[in-house]
Amino acid sequence: MSENLGVSELSEEQARAELARLAAELGRANTAYHTQDAPEISDAAYDNLKRRNAEIEALFPGLKRADSPSDLVGASVADGFGKITHAVPMLSLGNAFDDTDVQDFSDRIRKYLGLGKEALVFSAEPKIDGLSLSLRYEQGQLIHAATRGDGATGENVTDNARTIGDIPQVLTGAPDVLEVRGEVYMSHADFEALNERQQAEGGKVFANPRNAAAGSLRQLDPSITKSRPLRFFAYAWGDLSAPLAETQMDAIRRLAQLGFVTNPLTQECDGPESLIAHYRSIEEQRATLGYDIDGVVYKVNRQDWQGRLGFRATTPRWAIAHKFPAELAWTRLEAIDIQVGRTGALSPVARLAPVTVGGVVVSNATLHNEDYIRGLDSRGEKIRDGKDIRIGDWVQVYRAGDVIPKVADVDLTKRPDGSAPYIFPATCPECGSAAVREEGDAIRRCTGGIICPAQAVEKLKHFVARKTFDIEGLGAKQIEMFHDDADLPIRQPADIFTLRDRDASNLNRLKNRHGWGAQSADNLFAAIEEKRTIALAKLIFALGIRHVGEVGARDLALHYLDWTALTQAIDAARPAALAHRTADQAEEAERIKAKAEARRARVSDCRAAAIAGLDVPETASQCWSDLIGIDGIGATLGMSLSDALANPVERAAIDALIAHLNIVPPDAPAQDSPVAGKTVVFTGTLEKLTRAEAKARAEALGAKVSGSVSGKTDILVAGPGAGSKAKKAADLGVKTIDEDTWLALIEGL
DNA sequence: GTGCCTCGAGTTCC
DNA sequence: CTCGAGGCAC
């Protein structure tokens, strides 16, 4: 047997066999652990198997199995934490900042549910300022604990969670599978005692209880977590298939019966006035609670109504967080710097004399844009009573959403003599090109395009970012270094993929440089090689074309399925795109000129000529309509994409890049479903699905989802409140069905 | 035209 | 996380 060999001594064949053996053994151990009282093997033995598996996988990455135990949840791996995908995503909440927002929240729900005089009851509880944790229990046993992470996937902190006294290891009388959610936090007293201890021992002193709780929970060594006084309030559960109770309040009581600690200030409220009264009461008690809270959470009490209300993209419709006013601090504005983003946006950043805001030292803050500094909002109306912001001013800072520092106000009585209004630059501070602000736009942009080094670097950073090419070892810092490198410059994406060959024929080789070695250089080249194969959607997003974000890129990929098809279609649509813009501009001019009677005729002539003169070929119009007919893609995105591909410099860079890549088309949609190849339009309110879900399901089944009804539409799915589209469909003789019929049609697929 | 809702692009600190 | 703005429904 090979299992006594060191990992490095294994042959490929032995490694493959052993990975199979480990997968089987760990799989069996996992099943035993999760379904029976006694685990089959000890924790230490389990960890050893797991570690050996990870070591072999690291050495033979090509042999990693589809059912690799390293992807299994519920076990500790030596380095870092494993990932856990939440069965039900951990979403964030919408925010209310004043009484009006609370009233709106209630009104919105009443309208959505169609409630008349009927009572609408809420639960209200303090929003604990800690970190949320999801606990999974199977057959009453705590199986795993995961942090929120990005909402879909979190970190596996099971071993640490087991050390928290408020978290039961075993439940009696619980459903077979139960996910409990709550907040891990540290009390003020415990926090202070911990910091004193840390200081005495020369350890890290935490800025605030939240950071202390987060730092303690994310310890790699559970014995350290155990020594930290963490607590836990349970407030929700993650599995709606088996509701704990018919109302939120009953569910909380049930959690308390099961042995969880629930917050004593949780209360039932029968309307907005009652919610606000409870909010004020909690606000008054805030200082004496002994732990940090940052607001009050309101939830619709009835479970069935929560179900009907459902979710928007990232937040439930049935809950909201009523936030306390943010903590404020005053400090001196020392300078205003201008940063240039990847789209050329000039963003002013305030450099501040360091000041503590909400437990964190802040020395930078956003100033948004030109108008914000001048004291105007996006509609040109006064904010801060019209006070402008000047260098040297005494300014008020807060952290929006307790995260992003912003300059909120100015103290005019402390304004230094001889100060002058800040003059926003009209040229790019990085490349000197003109910086212009389009009519109706809040942002001033550098016109240098690819010539501007700041834009080039930011675009490259976007290209290698986590959601795009995600090249390990080539992050923002490395991009900055390589961009200005004398011997191995990376000036455009294609340069990344020629790096290895250029390095091989270079005198100043990467492996001989300070801070690099043969191993790290090889790792980088290997990471780059790995990403030569890339999904079409990621490639499109990575190009960093304005208005083409993650979702737009995915929609384009799903529609065209292939890079060549996409470029050919966009190229062909170019005349129509130009005509669209010309017509747009002419219309705009016409609107302005309508007031200046004298010149109207000339403009109309100009518009007619523009359209007639361009003589748009039929195929161009078709390609253009096809493009902007994609649901979610409009003329602005279309124009932006067309411009990017038609710009000779940009196009050359893109073509050079494409030559190095192996582009993977999106998963071919099912061919055998009843809706494959059909064009579907959703309209009205969907009750069982969100629009995004409906769209994703339909696309997975091979349907094309369009935004508007036309002769090409095969099926219109009309929910309640469908209007003009249903009428148009009837006129065109398009088949129209309701949501239930649609669900029945695609059922089981 | 108006009013949602989502998406894109910007931001800080650990 | 927030703002602005694009896209879409009414």
Q: Identify the pLDDT of residue A31.
A: 45
Reported as a single tens digit per residue, the pLDDT across A102-113 is: 888 888 888 778
Whose CA is nearest the C1' atom of nucleotide C10? A723
DSSP code per residue over A615-645: ---HHHHHHHHHHHTBTT--HHHHHHHHHHH
How far is C-alpha A316 from the geometric centre of its chain's CA atoms? 16
Other C-beta atoms closer than 10 Å to the C-beta of A124 total 25
pLDDT at A711: 64
> What is the rounded average pLDDT of the residues A435-451?
85
- List the single protein residue with the shortest CA to C1' distance from C5: A441
The reply to whether the CB atom of residue A368 sits less than 7 A from any atom in nucleic acid chain C is yes
Whole-number Å distance between alpha carbons of A184 and A217: 8
With a 7 Å cutoff on the CB, does A18 touch strand B?
A: no
CA→C1' distance for A722 and C10 (Å): 9
Indicate yes or no: strand B within 7 A of the C-beta of A313: yes
CA–C1' span, A26 to B4, in Å? Answer: 50
Q: What is the 3-state secondary structure (H, E, C) of A2-36?
A: CCCCCHHHCCHHHHHHHHHHHHHHHHHHHHHHHHC
> Tokens 């190229």 — which residue?
A571
Q: What is the pLDDT of residues A42-94, one digit of tens each?
A: 444 555 666 667 666 666 656 666 556 554 433 333 236 777 777 777 778 88
Residues 6 or more apart whose CB falls under 8 angstroms from that of A138 comprise A34, A35, A176, A177, A178
A50, A83, A117, A127: which one is catalytic? A127
The pLDDT of residue A230 is: 92
Q: Which of A705, A687, A721 is nearest to A632 (CA)?
A: A705
- The terminus-to-terminus CA distance of chain A in angstroms comes to 45
Quick: pLDDT tens for A453-510.
999 999 999 999 888 998 988 988 899 999 999 999 999 999 999 999 999 999 889 9
Positions 545-564 in A, CB within 7 angstroms of strand B: 546-553
Nearest nt to the A95 alpha carbon by C1': C1
- Predicted confidence at residue A483, as pLDDT, reads 92
Question: What's the CA A234/C1' C8 distance, rounded, in angstroms?
Answer: 40
The Å distance, CA of A705 to C1' of B3, is 24
Residue type, A230: L
Query: Cβ(A421)–Cβ(A375) under 8 Å?
Result: no
Q: In the complex, which nucleotide's C1' lies nearest to the CA atom of residue A438?
A: C5
Q: Calculate ∠ Cα A243-A247-A253, nearest 5°.
A: 90
Position A241 confidence tier, pLDDT thresholds 50, 70, 90: low
Nucleotides in C strand less than 7 A from protein CB: 1-10
Question: Do residues A369 and A443 lie in contact, with contact meaning Cβ atoms separated by under 8 Å?
Answer: yes
Q: What is the pLDDT of residues A383-421, one digit of tens each?
A: 888 889 999 999 999 887 777 888 988 999 999 999 999
The band of A608, judged by pLDDT with boundaries at 50, 70 and 90, is: very low
The verdict on whether A127 is a catalytic residue reads yes
Query: Residue A348, CB, less than 7 Å from strand B?
Result: no
Give just the sign of the alpha carbon dihedral A612, A614, A616, A620. negative
Q: Is the pLDDT of residue A601 over 50?
A: no
Rounded to an integer, what distance in angstroms lies between the CA atom of residue A730 and that of residue A721? 15
Tens of pLDDT, residue by residue over A333-386, are: 999 999 999 999 999 999 999 998 877 888 999 898 888 898 887 777 788 888
C1’ C3 / CA A479, Å: 28
Q: How distant is C1' of B5 from CA of A313, in Å?
A: 9
Q: Which residue is nearest to nucleotide C7 (CA to C1')?
A: A632
pTM, whole model, 2 decimals?
Answer: 0.72
Taken in order A467, A473, A477, A479, the sign of the CA dihedral is negative
**A564-575: per-residue pLDDT in tens?**
999 999 999 998
The angle formed by the CA atoms of residues A484, A435 and A577, to the nearest 5 degrees, is: 100
* pLDDT tens readout for residues A247-263: 999 999 999 999 999 99
- Burial label, A165 (beta-carbon count in 10 A; 0-12, 13-18, 19+): exposed
- For A375, residues 6+ apart whose C-beta sits below 8 A from its C-beta are A382, A383, A384, A385, A386, A387, A388, A389
Q: What's residue A602's pLDDT?
A: 41
Q: In which band, very low, low, confident or very high, does the pLDDT at A305 lie, cut at 50, 70 and 90?
A: confident
A400 CB and strand C closer than 7 A: yes
Reference A462, options A350, A546, A524; nearest CA is: A546
Which positions ≥6 away from A394 have C-beta within 8 Å? A330, A331, A332, A333, A410, A411, A414, A415
**Alpha carbons A397 and A388: distance in angstroms, whole number:** 15
pLDDT higher than threshold 70 for residue A622? yes
Contact A428, A435 (CB under 8 A): yes
Ranked by mean pLDDT, the top range of A9-18, A375-384, A667-676, A727-736 is: A375-384
Whether A685 CB is under 7 Å from strand C: yes
Is any atom of strand C within 7 angstroms of residue A294's beta carbon? Answer: no
Chain A residues 617 to 646 with C-beta below 7 Å from nucleic strand C: 631-638
- Å from A386 (CA) to C4 (C1')? 20
Task: Locate all alpha helices (DSSP H) within A237-327, ordered by sequence.
Answer: 248-257, 272-285, 303-309
Question: CA of A345 and C1' of C5: distance in angstroms?
Answer: 14
Q: How many CB atoms lie within 10 A of CB A519?
A: 9
**Residue A570 identity (one-letter amino acid):** I
H helix and E strand count, chain A = 26, 24
Q: State the Cα–Cα distance between residues A216 and A212, nearest whole angstrom.
A: 6
Cβ of residue A429 lies below 7 Å from strand B: no
A347 touches strand B (CB under 7 A): yes
CA of A370 to C1' of B10 (A): 14
| CB-based contacts of A313, cutoff 8 Å, min separation 6 | A690, A692
List, as one string, the DSSP characters of A162-175.
TT-TTS-SB-SS--
Average pLDDT of the residues of chain A: 81
Residue A112 CA to residue A108 CA, distance in Å, equals 6
Q: What angle do CA A593, A596, A598 make, to 5 degrees?
A: 105
pLDDT of residue A297: 92
What is the C-alpha to C-alpha distance for residues A461 and A556, in angstroms, rounded to an integer?
22
- On strand B, nucleotides with any atom < 7 Å from a protein CB are 5-14
Whether A506 sits with its Cβ under 7 A from any strand C atom: the answer reads no
Contact status, residue A80 vs residue A220, Cβ threshold 8 Å: yes
A584 Cβ contacts chain C strand, under 7 Å: no
Distance A366 CA to C1 C1' (A): 12
Nearest residue to nucleotide C2, by CA–C1' distance, is A400
Q: Tens digits of per-residue pLDDT, A646-689?
A: 999 999 999 999 999 999 998 766 666 777 767 777 766 666 66
Q: CA A452 to CA A450: how far, in whole Å?
A: 5
Q: Between A192 and A238, whose confidence is greater?
A: A192
Please calculate the CA angle A637-A642-A647 and round it to the nearest 5 degrees: 130
* Residue whose C-alpha is closest to residue A549's, from A621, A492, A468, A475: A468
pLDDT confidence bin for A554, thresholds 50/70/90:
confident
- Judge whether residue A380 contacts strand C, using its CB and a 7 Å cut-off: no
Q: Could you check: is the Cβ of residue A707 within 7 Å of any atom of nucleic acid strand C? A: yes
**Nucleic strand B within 7 A of Cβ A342:** yes
Determine whether the distance from the CB of A151 to the nearest atom of strand C is below 7 Å. Answer: no
